[in-house]
Amino acid sequence: MVSVNIKTREVPSSGASDFQGWCPPQQGFLKVNVDAAFLAGRAASAMVVHNDQGNLLYLASKLYECISPFTAEVEALGWAIEYADQCGWRRVEWETDAKEEWKVNWRSRRCNMVANAGAMLSLSTEWPFVFDEFNVNLIPPCILNSLLAEQAVAAV
């Protein structure tokens, strides 16, 4: 299981700060920059890892097939996360120039109980599932209880 703490901060998507260029991560963190290029069903991803002094630790690329530029960007980030997990890196700032705006927030497991319960159920039963607002009544109790508790907190 990949469990990487992700440090996020608000970064404007346009304006003068776009011309600032690359900057090192905050002290004690690594920075992983990822990007993907896509053309006619083929993609390439690149990953660059720097320490908090700005020194290069790792640079790699890979080629693969995929269906869209968005899928290529997601694949690039997933590949980098897997590598960071294999290396045991837990204090990582992530950067990408994907055209889609992503916002990733790290939260404690207590704030992510439904997703955690779903992942644990699928892993232990080897049963992937899909539920939506039309079949909520079919959600297993081990997930539904967490979902109802989250909804109760949100309603306050």
HEC secondary structure over 113-152: HHHHHHHHHHHHHCCCCCCCCCCHHHCCHHHHHHHHHHHH
Count Cα atoms within 13 angstroms, Cβ side, for 71. Answer: 11
121-154: per-residue pLDDT in tens?
888 998 888 888 888 889 999 999 888 887 787 7
74-88: per-residue pLDDT in tens?
999 999 999 999 999
* β-bridge mates for residue 87, sequence order: none
* β-bridge mates for residue 47, sequence order: 34, 60
Domains within the chain, CATH numbers bracketed: 6-96 (3.30.420.10), 109-155 (no CATH)
The model carries a pTM of: 0.66
Contacts of 31 (CB under 8 A, 6+ apart): 24, 25, 49, 50, 52, 92, 93, 94, 95
**8 Å CB contact between 84 and 92:** yes
